[in-house]
Copies of this chain bind each other. A is one copy, B any other.
Amino acid sequence: MKAKVHITLKGGVLDPQGKAIAHALLSLGFAGIGGVRQGKYIEIELAERDRAKAEAEVDAMCRKLLANTVIENYAIELES
């Protein structure tokens, strides 16, 4: 099973990298750009075949290692 994890800064946290991209797109002539936010995307191959167990396992990975939950949100998607 493959887990796809999105880690993004929480709404209130400034995102300099997203801001740089927004400014750069505007200066390259792209119009109608609102906010840009940059996050991390992590794909993990799992041997676990039980969906509920896989989700619980990846949730633990996020809380223990992958995300700083004070400033970041995470979302987990499973693909069999």
Complex: chain B residue closest to A14, CB-CB: B68
Query: In the bound complex, how far is the Cα of B40 from the Cα of A7, in angstroms?
Result: 9
Do A27 and B23 touch across chains, with their CB atoms under 8 A apart? yes
Q: A20-B21, A26-B27 are contacts. A45–B40 as well, Cβ < 8 Å?
A: no
| Distance in angstroms between the alpha carbons of A45 and B23 in the assembled complex | 13
- A28 and B70 contact, CB distance less than 8 A: no
Chain A positions 49 through 80: 1 when the CB is less than 8 Å from some CB of chain B, otherwise 0: 00000000100110011111011000000000
Closest B residue to A25 by CB, please name it.
B61
Interface residues of A (CB under 8 A from B): 6-8, 13-28, 30-48, 57, 60-61, 64-68, 70-71
